[in-house]
Structure 1
Amino acid sequence: MLSTSAQFNKLGDVIVSAYQSESDNSSISQLNLETDVLVIGGGPSATWAAWNAAAQGVRVVLVDKGYCGTSGATAPSGTGVWYVPPDPEQREAAMASREALGGFLSERPWMERVLDQTYTNLNKLSDWGYPFPVDDQGRPHRRSLQQAHDYMRLMRKKITRAGVKILDHSPALELLVDTEGVVAGAKGICRQTGESPAGTLRERWTVRAGAVVIATGGCAFLSKALGCNVLTGDGYLMAAEAGAEMSGMEFSNAYALSPAFSSVTKGAYYRWATFYYQDGTEIEGAGSQKGRSIIARTLLTQPVYACLDKATPEIQAMLRTVQHNFLLPFDRMGINPFTQHFPVTLRLEGTVRGTGGIRITDYTCASTVPGLYAAGDAATRELICGGFTGGGSHNAAWATSSGYWAGEAAANYARQLGTQANQRTVRGLGEAGVSANNANGSSFTPSEVIRAVQAEVFPYDRNLFRREQGLTESLGRLNHLWKEIRNSQAVSEDQAVQAREATAMVATARWMYSSALERKESRGMHKHLDYPEQDPNQYHRLLSGGLDQVWVKPQKLETSAKERELVAL
């Protein structure tokens, strides 16, 4: 029996009640909150969504798997931004520059909107006090957010001052929907409160909301890429359980260069690198951009070494001031990367530097499910990138813009529902990895499932260099993993978060490989060795979805972009 341990009160404008079971020492307390907009995530898109939702005058709660302001890929990394002044020639050049690279799947109207909103938001960020670098004449350089820790610290401060209630270290496990299937909040765990002597997680939270913004980032499959180990596809899984669709999941095989002994994935530094075999011979054609496939093929059979020997003394000094964390691992190892060879690897960043994610249906960043919005890397970036992107740049611009739009739209949606929105009858959607599905008591081990997924998505010769046979074999094993999870009981309380991460990674990999099998051509970052050419007859996006039964279908695009593709071919 649950007994009330705190009366309803105010934390900002958020209604809160707390309950605790008095049955035993390992009891689970329950935190119940009511708000207008719930934002799930804690990076740039999440904080922009929370800030703009609060700016509309509604109540906002933000829940983050880590600590909002430090967790995720942006905070520890620094990034460039697709920031272009409103000059017609510069804007045209910016939009045209990567259309072919992305397979002509981007859309000009979306690109124009993102450029406009990013320009406005970064100027606003400057007004708020972000220290943009300046040139010799004192002009700000707003294409750079290299001091990303300052960026995210500032965003946390802004949303706190705006009245947003933040729950740190509080991963969401499942969405709530009402009797009509409209999203109405979420449930999760508070990881920092009330641990038992055995380490069992004891506090769960429930947030009822008029609308939800998923800004949980992409999925890097726990590859140890910098800042990415909180990015396990959780938002995709929760959205799919509500019936949301994915888009562009075949464009999810991004690999980033990294020292073999470090998690830092700053590919831009390798423009000054030469790559070598173990015997010191230079690897012809290897490079951080166009020659990355050569590095991957070499890594299949032997180590690859790099040296930043193309950097002049002036460049070396600049690199030490721009991105401190890149050189820190070398300093700790006693390696001079400008004169000594060091081993490198390629770490999978999946949909973090890919373009796949939750399908966006209109300019509000709405998903296909009422009451559910998506932003940042949790949403598809095909609208502005097509089938190819990378760290920062377009992704960083998309994060600030989509977060801004999703927050405003979610606030308007919640306001239209009125004051009775949080009185709706609701139910949780989480099944796989959450609820018991098997009366015979069998269970799965999350860590084993995670290793099994990684065995399918990490290898270069399976994911980067794709063949129909390899994709089919991997998909068969992934489908078996999904059935194992679906036929298992819910795991123990202390493994609840890891179980959902494992489940989300299996689901994400299945959408990826199912879409990759359907796209029988090479386009964007999807390189299919059985179909090495780009096929103009496959000028379309691929939508995907489903859990127990994954489906994939094409979505036609406008003619003008196809005409540009045909001219390029």
Structure 2
Amino acid sequence: MTEIDVLVLGGGPAGTWAALKAAATGASVTLADKGFCGSSGATAAAGTGIWYVRPEAELREKAMASREALGGYLADREWMTRVLDETFDRVNELAEAGRYPFPVSPDGTSLRTGVQGPEYMKRQRLRVQRAGVTILDHSPALELLRTADGAVAGARLHRLADGTRVDIAARAVVLATGGCAFLSKTLGCNVNTGDGALMAVEAGAELSGMEFSNAYAIAPEFTSVTKTAYYGFATFYLGNGEVLRGASSKGGRSVIARTLLSEPVFCTLDQADEAQRRAMRVGQPNFFLTFDRLGIDPFTDRFPITLLLEGTVRGTGGVRVAGADCSTGVPGLYVAGDVATRELICGGFTGGGSHNAAWAMSSGSWAGAGAARYALRQGNSAGDRKRFGAGEIGLRPTGQIDAGLSHGEIVAAVQREVLPYEKNYLRHGDRLRPALAALDDVWFAAREGLAHAGADPSKVRSAAAMTAHARWMYTAALARTESRGMARREEFPDQDPAQHHRLLTGGLDEIWTAPEPVFLAGTELVSA
């Protein structure tokens, strides 16, 4: 089996930056994407802001302070500074080496605080190819490969084109597979089913911030477009034409969620002036496509809205980062982008597209370079190591296979517990506990009898990953008996100073949680 230096799993922003920075060291690099690198995933589907701030003390201070309170003071200033520095450099690299056509202001200043996703990712794919990276499209990873000493040393892929399995031996692996949106139909997120987090935990990694996983985005009822910034210009209405009070204020999404439990909610973007309307159409052209096709003017007409779960794609929870190079504590395994926790820069409140885009650039760059350094230290003898599949549920049933248990049934069962607003968004222990019990039943039934005979094994594993994610996030939500950041509990509406800590989560059959003081929470900036 030929061994490469670095295998990157995932072809979005984090994965492509990881591949670029790994290849820049001289390492041999392969990137495998569940979809088509450059066009799949949340970023490729739309425009996004970027947390790009000029290196001026006042501007940087304002940028870091802006979300600290919202995030429950769980973020880390040293990590925020690092991300701001790295993002500034990487965006400038994108403009110069990547020749990205950033817009220019009337005074000639290049405006670099956002990108159009399709153009950005098209250029990233081209850059990765020119760097000599091998790209394997439509090749989802089923499981990581481990050695006898517990190091991660490659992955087993499923090639969708012909249904074959391919083992890729690598000295280091970067997981950049994205978060988990539970197949909720949110824009660009059908590939985001949490596969990377499941593989990481199977290999021995820990999670952090899984209680901050209940991000819901406003979307027109007739589309999957979840670009929520424009709703800052909205007025929300009940079906009888009355203004929905409180929907446009802080916490307004909760008001919308409660109302949607019993009746429709409508919206008009009538607070935007003419100049803002023109700018909105330029900034997010795909936001308006369906409106235009249906003959709806969203600035004057009322249209029905819904809320779509974005989970850990827009939330902040994910695999715990153990080092400055985004290592995980498992030898040979690195994480980047939404599969990794973003608490270090956002705390317990979503950073939206802007912070997530900056994190993808920064963590991807660090993880790729860190994985390459680790790989090159291993030497040629590493290729002789025996490798074993680390995957469990959906690949190696523990009991008699249940021929009647399908991945589709697993997905439907998980969605019944995580999509409803009254369970996941408007959280209360009396609803969380029975939901978690139902998810436990799904997990153990799948653990014992779910197999992929006659089915796409990648879909089976995605169903397993969604089940794992749901159990991790509800276990963590029950453990945080307060309201901090996005983790709101109706029976514990206040913030508890005694719970000013991050919350680690781990395990598969038996899930555990443990508090981790913020000042000790993996922020030692030491490269593995």
Q: TM-score, normalised by structure 2?
A: 0.96
Partner of 1:459: 420
Partner of 2:292: 331
Instruction: Please say if 1:143 is aligned against 2:113.
Output: yes
Does the 8 A contact of 1:443 with 1:488 survive in 2? no
Partner of 1:190: 159
Specify which of 101, 106, 110 is matched with residue 75 of structure 2.
106
Does the 8 A contact of 1:175 with 1:430 survive in 2? yes
Instruction: Please say if 1:341 is aligned against 2:311.
Output: no
Compared CA separation, residues 489 and 277, structure 1 to 2 (3 A): closer
What is the letter of the counterpart of residue 252 of structure 2? G
Specify which of 323, 327, 330 is matched with residue 362 of structure 1.
323
Secondary structure of the 2:363 match is: helix
Partner of 2:30: 61
Does the 8 A contact of 1:183 with 1:370 survive in 2? yes
Alignment of 1:273-422 (within 5 A): 273-287=234-248, 290-422=251-383
Alignment of 1:130-169 (within 5 A): 130-145=100-115, 147-169=116-138
Secondary structure of the 2:434 match is: helix
Alignment of 1:48-87 (within 5 A): 48-87=17-56
- What is the alpha-carbon distance in structure 1 between the residues aligned to residue 497 and residue 45 of structure 2? 40
Q: CA deviation at 1:438?
A: 2.1
Q: CA deviation at 1:285?
A: 1.6
Secondary structure of the 2:44 match is: coil
Does the 8 A contact of 1:375 with 1:403 survive in 2? yes
Q: CA deviation at 1:436?
A: 3.4
Q: CA deviation at 1:423?
A: 1.7
Q: CA deviation at 1:33?
A: 5.3
- What is the alpha-carbon distance in structure 2 between the residues aligned to residue 133 and residue 162 of structure 1? 26
Does the 8 A contact of 2:400 with 2:448 survive in 1? no
Compared CA separation, residues 284 and 441, structure 1 to 2 (3 A): closer
Does the 8 A contact of 2:179 with 2:339 survive in 1? yes
Does the 8 A contact of 2:406 with 2:450 survive in 1? no
Render the CA deviation track for 1:304-344: whole Å, top value 9, x for unaligned: 00011222222222222221110001112221111211100
- Name the count of aligned residue pairs: 520
- Stretch deviating more after TM superposition (283-292 or 105-114): 283-292
Does the 8 A contact of 1:457 with 1:463 survive in 2? yes
- What is the alpha-carbon distance in structure 2 between the residues aligned to residue 410 and residue 235 of structure 1? 16
Q: CA deviation at 1:141?
A: 1.0
Does the 8 A contact of 2:47 with 2:283 survive in 1? no
Instruction: Please say if 1:482 is aligned against 2:451.
Output: no
Partner of 1:23: none
Render the CA deviation track for 1:517-539: whole Å, top value 9, x for unaligned: 00000000011011100011001
- What is the alpha-carbon distance in structure 1 between the residues aligned to residue 391 and residue 29 of structure 2? 23
- What is the alpha-carbon distance in structure 1 between the residues aligned to residue 515 and residue 429 of structure 2? 19
Alignment of 1:176-325 (within 5 A): 176-192=145-161, 194=162, 201=163, 203-287=164-248, 290-325=251-286
Instruction: Please say if 1:545 is aligned against 2:499.
Output: no
Q: TM-score, normalised by structure 1?
A: 0.90
Give percent identity, aligned residues only.
55
Q: CA deviation at 1:429?
A: 1.1
Partner of 1:501: 462
Partner of 1:534: 495
Secondary structure of the 1:482 match is: helix
Q: CA deviation at 1:441?
A: 5.2
Q: CA deviation at 1:442?
A: 4.5
Does the 8 A contact of 1:240 with 1:546 survive in 2? yes
Secondary structure of the 1:351 match is: helix
- What is the alpha-carbon distance in structure 2 between the residues aligned to residue 413 and residue 211 of structure 1? 7
What is the letter of the counterpart of residue 155 of structure 1? Q
Structural RMSD (CA): 1.4
Q: CA deviation at 1:34?
A: 2.7
Render the CA deviation track for 1:377-430: whole Å, top value 9, x for unaligned: 000000010000143111111000000000000000001110122221010011
- What is the alpha-carbon distance in structure 2 between the residues aligned to residue 340 and residue 378 of structure 1? 38
Secondary structure of the 2:460 match is: helix
Specify which of 82, 93, 109 is matched with residue 124 of structure 1.
93
Partner of 1:8: none
Does the 8 A contact of 1:438 with 1:489 survive in 2? no
Compared CA separation, residues 505 and 499, structure 1 to 2 (3 A): same
Secondary structure of the 1:136 match is: coil
What is the letter of the counterpart of residue 226 of structure 1? L
Alignment of 1:514-533 (within 5 A): 514-533=475-494
Does the 8 A contact of 2:2 with 2:383 survive in 1? no
- What is the alpha-carbon distance in structure 1 between the residues aligned to residue 149 and residue 520 of structure 2? 37
Secondary structure of the 2:166 match is: strand
Partner of 2:525: none
Q: CA deviation at 1:290?
A: 3.7
Secondary structure of the 1:491 match is: coil
Secondary structure of the 1:257 match is: strand
Partner of 2:64: 95
What is the letter of the counterpart of residue 465 of structure 1? L
- What is the alpha-carbon distance in structure 2 between the residues aligned to residue 216 and residue 115 of structure 1? 23
Any runs of at least 4 consecutive aligned residues in structure 1 with deviations exceeding 3 A, and if so which? 439-443
- What is the alpha-carbon distance in structure 2 between the residues aligned to residue 425 and residue 490 of structure 1? 25
Compared CA separation, residues 410 and 341, structure 1 to 2 (3 A): same
Secondary structure of the 1:228 match is: coil
Render the CA deviation track for 1:458-497: whole Å, top value 9, x for unaligned: 1111111111111111110001001001111522243311
What is the letter of the counterpart of residue 485 of structure 1? A
Does the 8 A contact of 1:218 with 1:352 survive in 2? yes
Partner of 1:468: 429
Partner of 1:170: 139
Compared CA separation, residues 440 and 514, structure 1 to 2 (3 A): closer
What is the letter of the counterpart of residue 534 of structure 1? Q
Does the 8 A contact of 2:194 with 2:465 survive in 1? yes
Specify the structure having the higher radius of gyration (Cα).
1
Unaligned runs of 5+ in 2: 522-528
- What is the alpha-carbon distance in structure 2 between the residues aligned to residue 45 and residue 472 of structure 1? 35
What is the letter of the counterpart of residue 65 of structure 2? A
* More relative contact order, 1 or 2 (CA 8 Å, 6+ apart): 2
Compared CA separation, residues 390 and 89, structure 1 to 2 (3 A): closer
